[in-house]
Structure 1
Amino acid sequence: MFIFLLRRLVQIVPVLLGVTLMVFLIMQMVPGDPAVLVAGEGATDEQVDAIRHDLGLDQPLALQYVSYVGDVVKGDFGESIRTSRPVLDEILVRLPITLELAFWSIVITVVLGVLIGIIAATKQNSFTDVGLMMVALLGVSLPNFWLGLMLIIYFSVGLQWFPVAGWGTFSHIILPAITLGTGGAAIVARMTRASMLEVIRQDYIRTAKAKGVRQRLIIYKHALKNALIPVITVVGLQFGALLGGTVLTESVFAINGVGRLIIDAIRMRDLPLVQGSILFVSVLFVIVNLLVDLSYRFLNKRVELN
């Protein structure tokens, strides 16, 4: 176990370096000059040059990148160009909102997806199975931003059951969580169905049926535990996708989370804030994948971590 953890931690380093390099190069191709945005429309060329020098933007790109990586290793993510506040402080203020939204979204993803997958598998090739899989296909196909707008129009504007936007109460969470969780639930449902169909054809399941064990007990105690191993992989990937998917959803619902912070930082070409936010989300994604790998051993002691 220790060797496995050490190996995975070592593998994280090149992944995060690659993320920072890609974000850095992409931001260099975005039109606009951060120094001009900070100085304002009426600033002189001398003022813009002075701001560019203070921000280190007059240095070669390679030197800018190396300097940034060196500061990150020390725990310094730099300061936001827009607010002059430490990037880490900006992220930590918004992070709890994004994590709460991702948590409730993954709850919807797991509960709805696993339940639909089990029902579809136990009623294979029936009208129920076909109908549920068509709904799952529709869930995968719907863009998050479109679904969010439709939910706002119908439930917030039309029925006035939920707030249109904002954050603060549980009622603010429901529509964004459904928006984010629907696509993931559809993917988990299809994976659960396929995995369950494979497991219930095994000899030990047929033996349990021959002994007269109740169908519900066979499904939820014997089959589901073994069928969940590939499902957990998908759930882990979906949680990482949820952290990235909050970018559009938070913008649609006017939620001040990390996703909306990234959008605002990109508009202002706030390079330190963009890099820091995406790097932070990448670290969370890697940690989630590591926890998923460890959960395999918890579900099945015969699984070896290599």
Structure 2
Amino acid sequence: MGDHATNPATETFLAHRNLLFTVAYEMLGSAADAEDVLQETWLRWVKADVEQVLDQRAYLIRITTRQSLNRLRSMKLRREAYVGPWLPEPLLTAPDVADDVELAESVSMALMLVLETLSPTERAVFVLHEAFDVGYDEIADALGKSPAAVRQIAYRARRHVEARRPREAVSSGETRAALESFQRALEGGDLQGLLDVLAPEVVLVSDGGGIKQAAPRPIISADKVARFIVGGIGKAGVALTGDPTVVNGNPALILRVDGEIDGVIAIRVEDTRITGLYYVRNPQKLTRIGSETPLTLR
């Protein structure tokens, strides 16, 4: 893009780049694939008659959505061959993202994992309407469907997500408090401390991608999760530390074993206790935790 630095088309694309990346990332759960989608969007954008485009933002979102859908469908086989549970790629985000409740929830690991259970079309409709406030007519145009069909898809997707998302919104302060208690217990190998902060029905999902060891299936219940953490992650003979950070707009820990990054732990909190733990160990998914990724819904 360097040769077109003063080109109006380039300036428009760059002005909306963070928005387009956020759209693609929420659709795909992968920063690497989102970047590929942006490249494909750019190639189509520079071939368009930009001066004839009345709403350039909407046009760019439409291209990004279509390319994301193509990528999502092609990723199906890759996901089916994935070793163990799959989690979204964690992104280091600026601390103030946690204060934007709408943005923080839309990119949270917990909600992103729920979006994985939707069909590609349902996911596109839900993300565009619920997160980015795109109208049904615009979504219909992007997907090549009627507005009535899009409304039905949106209704099904919203019901599906609402049945699986946290019952009540939790402030970033409450999440940080739970995370601090979890960190103290984790670093101290304190089984009772973990049991105190974990909800009885807590679920731990660990993603090693077949590269790093991880639980082959989600672990359910406070007792089993606490014992897995103390006996597995915090095994004797290693120095285990957690560095508080903000991942996907929410408080999280970068976990280090003997000073080396081992993974990222994100949490879901309800009623002051942790109901979900998302532990990403796959090193191929840890490339975006060294620098902040700018995200936006507008």
Please state which band the TM-score falls in when normalised by the shorter chain: under 0.3
Rg larger for: 1
Larger relative strand fraction: 2
Larger relative helix fraction: 1
The two structures have a TM-score, normalised by structure 2, of 0.26
The two structures have a TM-score, normalised by structure 1, of 0.25
Higher relative contact order (CA 8 A, sep 6+): 1
